[in-house]
Amino acid sequence: MIILAIETSCDETALALYDESKGLLEHVLQNQNNQLTKHGGVIPEIAARTHIQYLTPLLLQLLNNNNLKLTDLSFIAYTKGPGLIGSLLTGAAFAKSLSFGLKIPAIGINHLEGHLLACMITETPTFPFLALLVSGGHTMLIKANSLGNYEVLGETLDDAAGEALDKTAKMLGLTPPTGKELAKLAALSNKPADCHFTKPLIEQNNLNFSFSGLKTAAMLKIKQGKYQATHLAFAFQQAVMDTLIIKTKLALKITGLNQLVVAGGVSANYYLREQLLQLNNHSVKVFFPKLEFCTDNAAMIAIAAFLRIQKYHNCLEQILDQDLDIIAKPRWELNYPRDK
Ligand code: KG4
Ligand code: ZN
């Protein structure tokens, strides 16, 4: 059984091939960083049109690299949501066309579940586990009870952590990939000097986050012109990451769970990785995706599809698309197939 996975929820066009017995064969992706730099952010219409340009060449490249033909495929997995509607529709339409033409089933996957399960490409956490999901659009603490059964314990009340990092990086004049560039700049700071940010909501005994005030504080400090960019980047990164770490520790304490899965683009951050991996010395097993599977990619969509196909093998109709409708869900809750 070979799964082709397609991810087009935002501005990365990504494809992957997953083999039931060999695991991940290969994943490829094309970002749109040049467009991001040119326009100062994602323009949804341009992102969608660019996916259309990239999808077919990437698919041919992937098949060619692996000596496979379209007729070798068994399932087409695609990101059905959440994300930008135009971008999602390009992937959904591409997947459904392949599914129709090849007479093989299509399976819509939740992008957030893809992130949540990304570490399982190489690691083996077992349910139940606590997950910290931090991306450009989401900041969530989740109790993952079983595949498809996720309890959101807390989330951001305003900006996502990644969004705050991106906007602050942009204010510092950095270009895409902004989050990664901010981390690089922060790494150049040997001492954050007197630059200090208050960590939001850490006094509250709940698992919610708020990052928009922090972003405003960064804007004010940048305007003051008093701090070196490296120190500002370090202090800001530290405040965001320490907040994530404090709330994650609280969630581990509240739930009593002893496995932590960290996921989403921000999980690529070296400071967050270093700090949370230290929990391994305190009877918590910590799992991070490999760096290439932290930010948006199709390998995570492939592993989510594979695990679902395995789990539902006796009742596949519950998870596979039943008709040719091309449906994308810009907003989509994590627990499905309850919500079709
Ligand atoms: O998961 P992702 O690729 O896309 C979404 O689903 O949003 O996450 C993108 C986010 C961006 O906000 C980006 O700045 C952040 O992940 N990011 C990082 C790093 N690499 C990507 N943040 C901090 N440190 C990094 N190394
Ligand atoms: Zn993502």
For residue range 276-318, what is the model confidence (pLDDT) as tens digits?
A: 999 998 899 999 999 999 999 999 999 999 999 999 999 999 9
From 31, 135, 215, 291, give the residue whose CB has the most ligand 1 atoms within 8 Å, as the site to mutate: 135
Return the CA Rg of the chain. Answer: 20
Cα dist from 216 to 33, 210, 221, 223, 230, whole Å:
25, 12, 9, 11, 18
pTM beyond 0.95: the answer is yes
Mean pLDDT for 168-197 is 92
Cβ pair 70, 312 in contact under 8 A: no
Which ligand 1 atom sits nearest the alpha carbon of residue 271?
Answer: 24
Q: Is residue 339 very low, low, confident or very high in pLDDT (cuts 50, 70, 90)?
A: low
Q: How far apart are CA 232 and CA 221, in angstroms?
A: 8
pLDDT attached to residue 41: 87
Q: Are β-strands 149-155 and 139-146 bridged in parallel, bridged antiparallel, or unpaired?
A: antiparallel
Which ligand 1 atom sits nearest the alpha carbon of residue 9?
Answer: 6
- Distance of CA 112 from the midpoint of ligand 2 (Å): 7
pLDDT over threshold 50, residue 340:
no
Cβ neighbours, 10 Å, residue 128? 17
Residues with Cβ within 8 Å of residue 208, at least 6 apart in sequence:
154, 155, 156, 157, 201, 247
For residue range 21-52, what is the model confidence (pLDDT) as tens digits?
A: 999 999 999 999 888 889 988 999 999 999 99
As a three-state string, the secondary structure of 204-245 is CCCCCECCHHHHHHHHHHHHHCCCCHHHHHHHHHHHHHHHHH
Beta strands in the chain (DSSP E): 2-7, 13-19, 23-30, 75-81, 106-110, 129-134, 139-146, 149-155, 259-263, 285-287
Mean pLDDT for 124-149 is 97
- Nearest residue by C-alpha to atom 24 in ligand 1: 269
For residue range 218-258, what is the model confidence (pLDDT) as tens digits?
A: 999 999 999 999 999 999 999 999 999 999 999 999 999 99
Mean pLDDT for 136-145 is 97
For residue range 59-105, what is the model confidence (pLDDT) as tens digits?
A: 999 999 999 999 999 999 999 999 999 999 999 999 999 999 999 99
Among 252, 239, 256, residue whose Cα is nearest residue 207: 252
For residue range 10-22, what is the model confidence (pLDDT) as tens digits?
A: 999 999 999 999 9
From 262, 295, 300, 331, give the residue whose CB has the most ligand 1 atoms within 8 Å, as the site to mutate: 295
Among 56, 35, 249, 50, residue whose Cα is nearest residue 154: 249
Question: What pairs with residue 17 in β-bridges?
Answer: 4, 26
For residue range 104-125, what is the model confidence (pLDDT) as tens digits?
A: 999 999 999 999 999 999 999 9
pLDDT over threshold 70, residue 203:
yes
Give me the chain's average pLDDT, please.
96
